[in-house]
Amino acid sequence: MDFESVLDKCGSFGRYQFVLLALYGYTNILSSFHYFSQTIISFTPPHRCLPADAPDVYAFVNITSTERCRYIEWNPELLRHEETKCQSWQFERESNYESITTELKWVCDDAYKLAVGQSFFFVGSVLGTIFFGYLADRIGRLKACMLTTLTGAFGDFITSFVHSLPFFSAGRFIAGLSTDTQYILMYILVFEYLSPKRRTLGLNIVLAVFYCVGLMVSPWLAIWVGTWRHYLWAASLPALGVLCYPCLLFESAEWLLTKRQFEKAAACLRRIAKFNGRQVDEYVFDEFIKYYHEKLNEEQKSTTDTFMGMLRTPRLRKFTIILFIKSMIITVAFDILSRNMEGMGTSPFKLFSYTGITYLPAGLTIILFQNFIGRKGMACVSLFVGAVITALTGYLIASLDPAEHSIVLALMVGLGRYGGVVAYDAEAQYAAEIIPTSVRGRGMSNIHVVGYAFGFFSSYIIFLGTFYKPLPSLFISLLMFIGSALCLTLPETVKKKLPQTLADGETFGIGEKWYYFPCFSQKRKLEEQTMTVASIENTHKTIVAKQF
C-alpha cells in the first residue's frame, strides 16, 4: 500500500490540511514582509539641496536633478556665482517616515550605495538556495524551513543596526539567504499532504490571498512604526512564530521514505489520521511499511540521468538554455516591477500597497486560463502584455507630468505588476513540466539559482532611473519581449504525458509547430468534427434520396 493510498485513508483534505494551509498562509505573509523589506526601507522621497543660509521650508515642485545635488553660491573672492556640492538636504518625508536614504543621506553622489547594498541580497539568495536546499535533503523539510525563515529574519534584524555600506551589504546578504527556500520548503510540505484534486486551487488561492495581504499591510506598518529600523524589527520578529511549527506540523513523510525511515513515515501518517479524526486499522500501516521494504529489496533500475545530461543532447540543451534565460528575465522583471514605485506623482507607500492587490487577480488568472490557453500560451502572453504595458509606462513617465497624471501612472504600474506576477507564477509550473521527472528537483533548483544570480543586477537597473526616469521601464520591457519570443520555441505541456527521463525529454514535442496553442487547436478540431458530421449527414441524405 503506497503513500497516496494511505494518506487518502488518513485524510488528504481534513483538519490537518486546513492547519497546514493556514500556516502556509502565515509563511507567505512572512515571505512578503521579508522579500519586500528592501523596497520599504529604501524609498527616496522628493528632496532638494539645503544650503546653510537657506530657509527651512522649500516647495517640492519641479525640482531638477541639479537642484537636488547642487546649489548656486556667491563667491566674493571671484565675484561670481558658483555651483557647490550639496552637503545637506531637505526631504519631503511621507508621514515623517525615516528611510535609510533619508537617515544616511544616500542620495546624489552616494545614491549608488543603496544599489550596491541591495544587490548583495541576491548574492545571498543564490548561496542560500543551494545551501538550504542541500540542508532540506539532509535534516528534513520542516527543520530546514524553520532555519531558513529564522536566518532571513536575523538578517533583517541585524540590518536595522547598521550605519555604513559594508555592514549594510553584510546584513542584506544574510537576509537574502532565505529568499527562495523560505517559501519553497513550506510549499513542498503542503503539496505532499494535500489532496491532488485540491492542490492547484488550494495552493494558488492561499498564495494569492496571504501574499497580497502581506504586501498591502507592509507600507502602512512602516509608516506606523516611523523608521526603517523599527520596520525591520516589526517585519522580522513575527518569524519567531515558526518555532511553533513542530507542535502543529509533521515532517514530510515522502522525505522520510527517501531516507528509508519507513516506521517514522508511518508514525506521521498515524498522527495525521488522529488529527483528522479518522479511524485507520493498524494493518494499513503495517502494509505500508511492508510495501516500501519490499520495494527497497527489489532489483530496481537506478537511473543514470543527471542534470548535466540535459546539456548533452540538442533539443534538451535548447530547452535548458531557454529556461535559464527566461528565469533571468522574469526574476529581474518581477523584482523591478514590484519595487520601482518612485517618481509616479503618488506616495510610493500608497502605490506599493494598492498595487499589491494585483496578486489576487493574478492567481485567479492562472487558475482560470492556464489549462485553456496552455502553459506556453500563458507564459508567452503574460510576458508580451507585460512588456507592452511596461514600455507604455516608460513612455508616459517621459512625456507626462507625474503630479498631474498620477492616477494614469498608478494604473499603469498596477497593470505592469499584474503582468509580472502572472509571468512569474506561470513560469514556475511551465518549467517544472518541461524538465524530465528524473532531474526535476535538481533542474528547478538550478534554474532558480541562475534567476536569482541575475537578480543581482535589478538594483543597478533601478539605479538607471536616477539618470533618466523611464530607463528601467524601457529596459525591462525589452527583456520581456525577448522572453515572450523565447516561449514560442518551447513545447506545450498541457494535457500531455510529461517526460520521465532524459530520453523522453529529448523527443518531447517533436513535430509541434511554434504557433501551436491548445485553445486554437481545440477550435480547429471541433470545426473538423462538425464538418465531418455534416458530410456524413449529407451522404446519408443522398443515399436515402436515391433509394426513393
* pLDDT value of position 243: 94
* pLDDT value of position 541: 42
- DSSP secondary structure, 163-183, as one string: -SHHHHHHHHHHHHTTTTHHH
The C-alpha cell that represents 463 in the structure block:
539605479
Neighbours of 507 (CB within 10 A): 12
* pLDDT value of position 78: 57
Burial (CB count within 10 angstroms: exposed 0-12, middle 13-18, buried 19+), residue 418:
buried
* pLDDT value of position 23: 94
Cα dihedral: 436, 437, 439, 445 (round 10): 100
Q: Report angle CA 223, 228, 232 to the nearest 5 degrees.
A: 105
* pLDDT value of position 539: 39
Cα–Cα distance list, 129 to 182, 251, 466 (Å): 9, 20, 31
The C-alpha cell that represents 126 in the structure block:
543564490
* pLDDT value of position 522: 52
Q: What is the pTM of this model?
A: 0.78
Helix, strand, coil distribution of the chain in percent, nearest 5: 75, 5, 25
The one-letter code for the residue type at 147 is: L
Q: pLDDT by residue for the chain (548 residues), tens digit each?
A: 788 888 888 988 889 999 999 999 999 999 999 988 888 998 888 888 876 655 554 545 445 555 667 776 655 565 565 667 788 888 888 888 999 999 998 888 888 888 888 889 988 988 888 888 788 878 888 999 999 999 999 999 999 999 999 999 999 999 999 887 888 888 888 878 887 777 767 777 888 889 889 988 999 999 999 999 999 999 999 999 999 999 999 998 888 887 888 899 899 999 999 999 898 888 888 888 888 888 776 645 545 667 788 888 899 999 999 999 998 999 888 888 887 787 777 888 888 888 888 888 888 888 788 778 888 888 899 899 989 999 998 888 888 888 788 888 888 888 888 888 888 888 877 887 888 866 776 777 788 788 878 887 887 888 888 788 888 889 999 999 999 999 999 998 887 877 878 888 888 888 888 778 777 765 444 443 443 334 434 434 443 333 33
The C-alpha cell that represents 357 in the structure block:
492587490
Helix axes 406-434, 348-355, angle to 10 degrees: 40
Residue 6 contacts residue 288 (beta carbons within 8 Å): yes
Torsion sign over Cα 240, 447, 380, 435: negative
Q: Which residues contact 261 (CB under 8 A, 6 or more apart)?
A: none
* pLDDT value of position 230: 95
